[in-house]
Amino acid sequence: MIVKHKLKLSSLAIALSCAVVPMTSFSAMAETISLTGKDLTIEQLLKVQSGEANVTVSKKGKQNIQDSFDLLMDSARQGTPVYGLTVGVGKNKDTEVFGKDGKMSDEAVKLSEDFNRDMLFTHAAASGEPIAQEVVRMAMTIRLNQIATGHVGVQPDVARLYEQFVNKNIIPVVPSDGSVGLSDILLASHIGAAMMGEHEVFYKGERMPAAKALKAAGVKPLVPFGKDGLSILSNNALSTAQLVHAMGQAEQLIEFSPKLIAAGLESINGNISPILPHTLDARPMPHVQDVGNDILKNLKGGYLFQRDEKRPLQDSLSFRGAHWPVANAISQYNNLEELVHIQINSSDDNPTVYLNAKHSRFNKYPQVEQYFTDGRVSGAINSSANFDTIQLATTTEAFSIAMAQLGKYSSNRQIKMIDPYFTGLPRALVNPDDTNGQSFYTLQNGFTALFVDIAHASNPVSFYGQANQGGIEDNFSNFHQASKNLTTVVDGVSYIYAFELMTYGQALDLQKKVHDRDLSDANKALLKDLRETVKFYADDTRTFTVDIEASQKFLMKY
């Protein structure tokens, strides 16, 4: 571990990085995570994503859900405008919503139900390939936890549907394109449609009509009412889930980086001077000392600690400063992790429903006091812009850039590896016994192409967009696109690292064979484990493609 108290490596993150998780066979022994609305973690979400955990709403969370719905209804009775209930429902503007007994008229109930149904239908208007099933499962968990905060105001039935969809693995088919980042409105509506028994879902390995899956699973369809439709579609849970998915993969790459750098230094007879403790103490930037120490730990017992007059005084910058981008990636990860923790344990709804909202000095003004309700349940309901994700989007972009820097440094290191001037080894790392071999000479095209991909994907997108909805919705963060871009970057870096690992494996073997050098304990173990799946290139009689895939899977598990 680089920073144990900050960067927590989940085995789930590693497993999820290596393969698509099958959504058809979940263990009956799965852990059950109790959702309280305040302490859901990234690690728990990754367990839900992988199928190692189911969910339930805590007793307090259930009470919050009921109370927030009651607050919504009480506020409507007292005259607070509630979109989808007392305003915005066509004829409902001229219909008496509540009778003298304080109950809604049958006509008003029916109008609200129809309005909510139609809202979910008309907002389900996205395109593209379906979002990965495990990401949608995680998104529904995030949303259920947010509902448990008591700041949403849906019927308890909505929470029931989310919980049953997660635990019974009924995964709505959600297109991947159509979010501008200030709520995934056009995407999340498909989840609501599926809850009503409309649209399509993935269930038991098949894509099928939602009505068929709900009947087979014994799930009663939702009849949305009040604020249900708006709360199902107006949130950022899908974007956040996509982000968490990418963060799980990125975490493993960051953790593996010191091991890879140590292998690289022994591959070129590198100089350890830049990562010595006193060197880094001269400029104690965040996490750099931890990374340096981790690299040195992986070099323990090896030949680089022995004096060598032929060793260069200074290596190329991509080796000499390899610890800096890793330290930066840790910093950016931690910044993002903090925001994600807030996001998944809070409400990004509009309007905001706030149980037991505290009065402030502004309550003396009628404009403010009108938002508050006192009754069996007290609180406030008012318009908000809590769905704005500019902080998450731009911090995600910063992390994308940090991860892309790992790919850049890696690519630059690999470029040097075919040159005997830098390595002291045969050209292109050819086995000396294979005098006409080409070995690693042409591999550079592969990781160079990947570097172009991640350079493109790491460009910020949060600036772009245009006003819509008649000019009212005149902002955008493209949070969902930023999360997808991060996924592209992380995936690309994992394969760039795979090329690098293969290269160092060859070089370490040659350091032993050509120069009889004694490797560090960690590099001996790494090379031994790698050689179980990727053999030494003694000649040019096999393709590299299979080994690239094997190396990527190896490093994402190591």
Q: What domains can be seen in the chain, in order of their start residue?
A: 58-235 (1.10.275.10), 249-338+389-557 (1.20.200.10)
pLDDT > 90? residue 10: no
Could you tell me which of 319, 476, 495 has the C-alpha nearest to residue 403? 495
For 95-143, how does the pLDDT look when each residue is reduced to its tens digit (9 = 90+)? Answer: 555 655 667 888 888 988 999 999 999 999 999 999 999 999 999 999 9
For 328-387, how does the pLDDT look when each residue is reduced to its tens digit (9 = 90+)? Answer: 999 999 999 999 999 999 999 998 999 999 999 999 999 999 999 988 899 999 889 999
Q: What is the DSSP string of 327-359?
A: HHHHHHHHHHHHHHHHHHTS---SSEEEETPPP
User: Residue 485 corresponds to which tokens in the numbers above?
Assistant: 């871009």
User: Residue 318 corresponds to which tokens in the numbers above?
Assistant: 């991509």
R_g of the chain computed on alpha carbons:
28
For 191-225, how does the pLDDT look when each residue is reduced to its tens digit (9 = 90+)? Answer: 999 999 999 999 999 999 999 999 999 999 999 99
Residues in the chain: 558
Provide mean pLDDT across the span 421-446. Answer: 90
Average pLDDT, the chain: 92
Provide mean pLDDT across the span 491-517. Answer: 98
Cβ 235 vs Cβ 183: under 8 Å: yes
Give the per-residue pLDDT at 15. 43
Distance (Å, whole) CA 558 – CA 330: 18
Distance (Å, whole) CA 41 – CA 43: 5
Distance (Å, whole) CA 281 – CA 285: 9
Give the per-residue pLDDT at 100. 54
DSSP letter at 38?
Answer: S
Provide mean pLDDT across the span 274-295. Answer: 98
Q: What percent of the chain has pLDDT over 90?
A: 81
**Cα–Cα separations (whole angstroms), residue 313 to 186, 262, 310, 344:** 58, 17, 9, 49
Cβ 236 vs Cβ 348: under 8 Å: yes
Q: What percent of the chain has pLDDT over 70?
A: 92
Helix, strand counts (H, E) of the chain: 21, 10
Give the per-residue pLDDT at 237. 98
Give the per-residue pLDDT at 4. 41
